[in-house]
Each structure stands twice: as C-alpha cells, then as structure tokens.
Amino acid sequence: MAKSVLTSQTTLVWLRDDLRLDDQPAIAACGSAPTLFLYVLDNATPGLRPLGGASKWYLGRSLTALADCIATRGGRLDVLIGASEQLVLDLARAAGVRRAFWTRRYGGGEIALDGRIKAALRANGVEANSFNGQLLHEPWEVTSAKGQRFSVFTPFWRAHQALGTAAVPRAAPARLNAAPWPDAAPRRVSIADLGLHPTKPDWSSGLAETWTPGEAGAQARLGAFVGGALADYADARNRLDADHSSKLSPHLRFGEISPRRIGATLEAAVAGGTAQARQSDAFMREIGWREFSYAQLMADPDLATRPHRPAFAAFPFRDDRGALDAWRKGLTGYPLVDAAMRQLWRTGTMHNRARMIAASFLVKHLLLDWRLGEAWFWDTLCDADPANNPASWQWVMGSGADAAPYFRIFNPVLQGQKFDPNGNYVRHWVPELARAPSAWIHAPWQASPVERASAGLVLGRDYPHPIVDHVFARTRALKALATLRADGGGSEVHDA
C-alpha cells in the first residue's frame, strides 16, 4: 500500500445519527478525496446513553441500507465497536487522515467526547470540522433580543421562524471515493457483529412490518405524506382512528432525512399548489418542537434523569411495580391506554396523541415516576430520540420547560370518545373489545352485564377491570401536587 495514497488527502467522515447521503454536509465536504466512511458503535464511553432494543433493531437495518447506498456510489462503510475516542484517533493516525468531518450532536456526553476528539485531531495537524446536519437552526442561533435562550416554545418558534429559511439542502453526491483501509488500523466488524438484532426471542416482526429503515424509506415516507395525510394534517392530526401522521420520526431520529429536506419539500409543495400553507405550517410546528427539545437538551444535559423544575424533585411518586407492569403490557383496564401501549410494543411507535394520554396515565393516574415511562419508551420506540423523548415526558409531568401544568389531567375515556369516536383504534389493538359497541368501548365497565355478555366480554376474565378509578386517581394526583412548593403554576383543575 503506497504511503502517498494514505497521506496525501485521505478524509474521514465519522457517521453517527446522520445515516444518509442527501443533504449531508460532512459528506459533501469530502469532494472527490479518498474517504473513510466510519460508524462506531460506542459501548464503552461514559456519559453516552446506550440505545434501547427497538432503536438497536432500527439502527441495524439503517446501517445496512446506508452501506448499500454508499457502495453503489463507489464508497465503503466501515464499522467498529468500542470507545470512539480511541478508535477514531487510532484510525486517523494509521490512515494518515488529513481531514475529519462529522455532524454535530447536542447531548452533554456527546459534546464533551466530540470536543476531545476534535482537539486531539487538530493537535496532530488534522483539519477537524463539524457541521449542522440535524436541525434547521442550532440552539445558540435561536435566542431572544437580549441573547438569552427561550424556555417557552411559542416565542422560541417565533424567533426561529424569524431567522428565515434554513440552508438549502444539497443533493447526494453521484460518486464517492473509498480510501483503502490501512493494515495498522483497528479491526473492522460487520454490521451483524454489532448484535443489534434481537434473538431469544426475536420480537421484531411487527417492527419489520411497520418500517423501512434507510434513506430511501425516508424519502418514500416523505413523498407519501406530502401527497396524502398532509392535506388535512392541521385538522386531523390528533385523530387516532385513521392514519394522519407523517411517520417520519424514526427517519429523523437516525438522520436518514434532514429537517432541511423536509422543510424544502413542503415549501415546494405549497409553492406548486399541491399543498396548503396552513397544513404545512402545522406540521413544521411539530418540527419546531423537535428543535425546541434539542435546545433544552443542550442547556440541560440531564434532561432524561432530573426534573427541569427543581420543585418536582420532591414529588411523592408511588412505588407500585404491579401497576407499572400493567401499564407496560397494556392491561390497565382503560382501552385507549392499553391500545396505545400494545401498538408501541408491536410496532415500535405510537401516535403522538396516544403518547400524551399513556404518559399522563402513568404519572397522574398511577402516580409513578415519569423516568420509568421515559425509560420504557426509550427501550421500545424506534424513534427514541435523546431530546424529544425526555422533553416530552417532562412536558406531560409538568416539570419541563413550557410544560403542561401537572393539574391538567387527561381523562382516557373522554380522550377516546373525542379522538377515536367509533372505537376503531381500540378494536384494532385490543381485540378483546372487537365486538364492543362504540357507545361503551372506551369504558366497558360502564356497560351492563347483559351488554357486555352480548359482546362476548367478561371483565376480569377477557379484559381487566380498571386498575384505578379515574375520579380517585385525579383527586390523589392533585393532593400529591399540593405537597410541592409553589412553582409558578396555577390551581385550576382540567379534566381533558
């Protein structure tokens, strides 16, 4: 292997949560230079949160798709496992890397790790640069007139929009140039060697039926959304009985598509008259919440483990493993909650409205610690996002930035009647209630024994009794809230 080939202009692209070629600044910066495209499964660096089971499954499929995509353009995806800092620096040294590029991350452990690697590379004469490939605008760009970060979403989003359109997305390069793997470099492994696919048992069949990981799957999902559900997104996005969501969340989480590409596609659809601005704006506001969540994560690296509002550190949570297990398995006796939790286990996803209802039930009806729910979602969601997941759980708990007040308590029955009025969502995921009429499907305990018998339902045998009474649970939750010191909230009770 000629030394000049390795040392002249070899470039390293370190891929993480940016598994795509389209609108990928780190890859665009390579030009035609011989490049090492590297992914490291870091299972050894302190401060990095290990992926949950569903995310591991998704990552394995996404890496396979990316490897194929890179190979068709003349490149090669190399995979390592271990501590990123040591592996990246060892590879750069062995390959005579002159330039190293990657996409920025915003978690505390990730920022510290990337900073150490960047400093070490530069100290060795390597041009090391990072790029924004995850967000429309980065957290430090979205500030008040006084340069302060926002703690409330609406002014954050207003300031975000005032920055104007994000950088124009760049198309994927037509050709890539694979640099040779040096003999002295760390030992490569296969994607299969990463052990991302579940075994004993393999519970991933529902995930495989639901998702097509990879950049092509992301582009197809975006096209289907813009040509379909976007048409009534603003009005119907909370309905559970029909498919009105974009289903882009895991593709965004693993960087198979960029928010810039999504925004540009929607802008083009509105400009071309194939989409309405009102519908596009409603969806981009959801992208804005993701941006707001990342700003929170950067400001509060302990977002998944510590309440943003200090008063909530003293909240009197209950310790009830039986109730937690019933919630996880979708056996609470509240059909809408159970449907949501079973959908999550089967498909690795859940409608956003269902997430709010299921999360509220855990922390307010059952009075269990929000971190238990956040950890369960982290393990079972394909789109378990390091910013969105904890920020949204803290929103439900009332402990986060711009959170829903704790006294806002979702009534699962009313929510079902409003957003699944005919019970179709419940019937699909809770087949025990398939014959139940719409009139009482969201509250089977309210039906008479004769009515339940006609639907082939015996409570306590075919489907559980409610694990807790709603009125009792609401009263208990408000008493628990009253034990906290005033934290700027109100006292009005909402039974939504």
Dump pLDDT digits (tens) for 395-421: 999 999 887 788 889 999 999 999 999
Mean pLDDT value of segment 101-129: 98
The three-state (H, E, C) secondary structure of the chain, written as one string: CCHHHHHCCCEEEEECCCCCCCCCHHHHCCCCCCEEEEEEECCCCCCCCCCCHHHHHHHHHHHHHHHHHHHHCCCCEEEEECCHHHHHHHHHHHHCCCEEEEECCCCHHHHHHHHHHHHHHHHCCCEEEEECCCCCCCHHHCCCCCCCCCCCHHHHHHHHHHCCCCCCCCCCCCCCCECCCCCCCCCCECCHHHCCCCCCCCCCHHHHHHCCCCHHHHHHHHHHHHCCHHHHHHHHCCCCCCCCCCCCHHHHHCCCCCHHHHHHHHHHHHHCCCCCHHHHHHHHHHHHHHHHHHHHHHHCCCCCCCCCCHHHHHCCCCCCHHHHHHHHHCCCCCHHHHHHHHHHHHHCCCCHHHHHHHHHHHHHHCCCCHHHHHHHHHHHCCCCCCCHHHHHHHHHHCCCCCCCCCCEECCHHHHHHHHCCCCHHHHHHCHHHCCCCCCCCCCHHHCCHHHHHHCCCCECCCECCCCCCHHHHHHHHHHHHHCCCCCCCCCCCEEC
CB 377 within 8 A of CB 395: no
Strand 35-41 and strand 77-81: the pairing is parallel
Predicted local confidence at residue 405, as pLDDT: 86
Q: Is residue 181 over pLDDT 80?
A: yes
Strand 99-103 and strand 408-409: the pairing is unpaired
d(CA 416, CA 333): 13
Distances (CA, A) of 226 to 165, 253, 288: 19, 19, 18
Predicted local confidence at residue 25, as pLDDT: 97
Predicted local confidence at residue 8, as pLDDT: 62
Q: Given 1.20.140.10, 3.40.47.10, 3.90.1560.10, 1.10.579.10, which CATH number is that of 310-495? A: 1.10.579.10
Predicted local confidence at residue 485, as pLDDT: 55
| pLDDT confidence band for 155 (50 / 70 / 90) | very high
Per residue in 73-99, pLDDT (tens digit) is 999 999 999 999 999 999 999 999 999
Q: Given 3.40.50.620, 3.30.420.60, 3.40.50.300, 3.40.50.1820, which CATH number is that of 3-133? A: 3.40.50.620
d(CA 57, CA 224): 24
Q: How far is CA 469 from the centre of its chain?
A: 32
| Residues above pLDDT 70, as percent of the chain | 96
Mean pLDDT value of segment 112-116: 98
Predicted local confidence at residue 496, as pLDDT: 52
d(CA 318, CA 54): 28
Q: Using alpha carbons, select from 218, 228, 298, 299 the residue that is nearest to residue 259.
A: 218
Distances (CA, A) of 475 to 229, 361, 482, 495: 39, 13, 11, 11
| Two tokens, residue 234 | 């603003």
Residues forming a β-bridge with 80: 40
* Lowest-confidence segment of 160-169, 204-213, 344-353, 371-380 by average pLDDT: 160-169
d(CA 385, CA 290): 9
Per residue in 213-270, pLDDT (tens digit) is 999 999 999 999 999 999 999 999 999 998 889 999 999 999 999 999 999 999 999 9
Q: What is the CATH number of domain 134-169+214-299?
A: 1.25.40.80
Distances (CA, A) of 256 to 53, 66, 194, 284: 19, 9, 20, 18
More confident of the two residues 486 and 117: 117
| pLDDT confidence band for 5 (50 / 70 / 90) | very low
Domain spans in the chain, listed from the N-terminal domain onward: 3-133, 134-169+214-299, 310-495
**Amino acid residing at 121:** L
Domains 134-169+214-299 and 310-495 share a fold: no
Mean pLDDT value of segment 439-468: 97
CB 436 within 8 A of CB 448: no
